Amino acid sequence: MSAPAKQIDDPRWTRVDEYAARKLLTADAALDAAVASSEAAGLPPISVTPLQGAFLHVLARATKPRAILEIGTLGGYSTIWLARALEPGGRLITLEYERKHAEIARQNIDRAGVGDRVEIKVGKAIDALPSLTGPFDFVFIDADKPTTTEYFEWAVKLARSGTVIVVDNVVREGAIADEKTNEEGALGMRRFLDAAGRDLRVTVSVIQTVGGKGYDGFAIAILR
């Protein structure tokens, strides 16, 4: 997927990200190794930031999850944060199209000691979703952006009342609010928000984010 062309940034965002991470996050060899091995293998540097990983962990933990679904594994960085939020005996299924990404993720997830809880399904997420059995307590959607509307529909189908669904990259440096945008990711997210706003099964919000990954945002939904 192509990144947005113009870089919106402010040095304070990175400084605050680094400051808060230094204050709040403890050194974590498994997460550091996941980042390093993903970079060494040439995976794109598009995983969530450390503070975003902790944020996802907090949200997931609040649902007392016995089952988590992730769409878009990459090197397993967000997967590790989420797997650590599972209740004892809980399971996480993560869907990844690229075999190479899945192989790197497998190593990173096993090294983090959560491999027994995590299943990686390789292939197009849209093909795997119909074979899954819910309910999932928490869902993180972070794969190909144009298909987000379909992934969200599946997430709702596989959910229960109270399930929390988080969607990454909905703001795209503000492109979501630009009706003239040609960026396929932003167009995908505009279509997703159109559908979500009409969907009486869910309450949804968007929270804009700045920091180590520039200007973007999450959608967060809960099943009524």
State the residues that interact with ligand DHB by CB under 6 A. Answer: 1, 3, 46, 142, 168-169
Binding characters for ligand SAH, 78-97, by CB under 6 A (x = yes) = x----------------xxx
> Site for Mg ion (CB under 5 A): which residue of 142, 165, 176, 209?
142
Residue 124: burial class (beta carbons within 10 Å; 0-12, 13-18, 19+): middle
Sheet holding 159-167, edge to edge: 118-122, 91-96, 67-71, 136-141, 159-167, 216-223, 202-209
155: enclosing H helix or E strand: helix 148-157
One of 84, 101, 106, 117 touching ligand SAH (CB under 6 A): 101
Residues 159-218 that bind ligand SAH (CB under 6 A): none
Which residues share a beta bridge with 116? none
Q: Indicate the residue type of 130.
A: P
Going residue by residue from 114 to 143, which x/- string records binding to ligand SAH, judged by CB under 6 A?
A: ----------xx----------------xx
Contact of 194 with 142, CB cutoff 8 Å:
no
Q: Is 144 an interacting residue with respect to ligand SAH (CB under 6 A)?
A: yes
Q: Which is nearer to ligand DHB, 1 or 24 (CB)?
A: 1
When CB distances to Mg ion are compared, the closest residue is 168
CA atoms within 13 A on the CB side of 18: 5
Comparing CB distances to Mg ion, the nearer of 66 and 138 is 138
Binding-site partner at residue 38 among Mg ion, ligand DHB, ligand SAH, none, CB < 5 to 8 Å by type: none
End-to-end CA distance of the chain: 33
Query: Which residues in this chain contact ligand SAH in the complex, by CB under 6 A?
Result: 46-48, 72-74, 77-78, 95-98, 101, 124-125, 142-144
